[in-house]
Structure formats: structure tokens, C-alpha cells
């Protein structure tokens, strides 16, 4: 075998790791949003007069958690 054949055999590009990485990165924010919404509903059930404040805080938490998912998709495309 010559050196060109060995170099071509060593140069194999595997694609699809970005999609797998994003799928794994989306698990964390999905679990986080589920816990966040569940605890907010629980808090609203315990103290209905605080529903407006809890809802506002919940939406802020969802926004920050979704930022993690966006970072995960960007990292999946970069690496």
C-alpha cells in the first residue's frame, strides 16, 4: 500500500454528530422547563393571590432555560 491510499483511508468524515449533540443538549432544558412550570402551578395552587408574580417569574425562568437550548444548538453546529 502506498502513502496516498493510507491517507485516503484515514480521512473519513462522519456527519450527524451535531444532531445527536443537540438532541442530548435539549434534554436538560426540557426537564428544567417541566420542573419550573410544575412548581409554579403548585405555588399558584397554594397561594392564588401570588399567581401574577409567580407567572412573571415563571416566564423569566423559561426564557433563561430556553437560552440553554439555543446555546446547545449553536454548539452542536460549531462542533
CATH of the domain at 45: 1.20.20.10
Domain assignment present for residue 61? The answer is yes
Q: Give the pLDDT confidence score for residue 17 in this predicted structure.
A: 72
Number of separate domains in the chain? 1
Q: Which domain holds residue 58?
A: 35-78
Q: How far apart are CA 49 and CA 59, in angstroms?
A: 18
Which pLDDT value is given to residue 26?
A: 79
Cα 27 versus chain centre, distance: 6
Whether 48 is covered by a domain: the verdict is yes
Torsion-angle region of 16 (φ positive above 0: left; ψ -120 to 50: alpha; else: beta):
left
Question: Which pLDDT tens digit goes with each residue over 12-57?
Answer: 666 677 677 777 777 888 898 999 999 999 999 999 999 999 999 9
- What is the grid cell recorded at 37? 412550570
Residue-wise pLDDT tens digits, 62-73: 998 888 888 877
Domain-located, residue 65: yes
Q: Please indicate, yes or no, if residue 73 is contained in any of the structural domains.
A: yes
Amino acid at each position: 500500500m502506498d502513502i496516498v491510499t493510507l491517507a485516503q483511508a484515514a480521512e473519513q468524515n462522519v456527519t450527524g454528530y451535531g444532531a445527536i449533540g443537540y438532541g442530548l443538549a435539549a434534554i436538560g432544558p426540557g426537564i428544567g422547563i417541566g420542573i419550573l412550570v410544575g412548581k409554579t402551578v403548585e405555588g399558584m395552587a397554594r397561594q392564588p393571590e401570588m399567581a401574577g408574580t409567580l407567572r412573571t417569574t415563571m416566564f423569566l425562568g423559561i426564557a433563561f432555560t430556553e437560552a440553554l437550548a439555543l446555546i446547545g444548538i449553536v454548539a452542536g453546529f460549531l462542533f
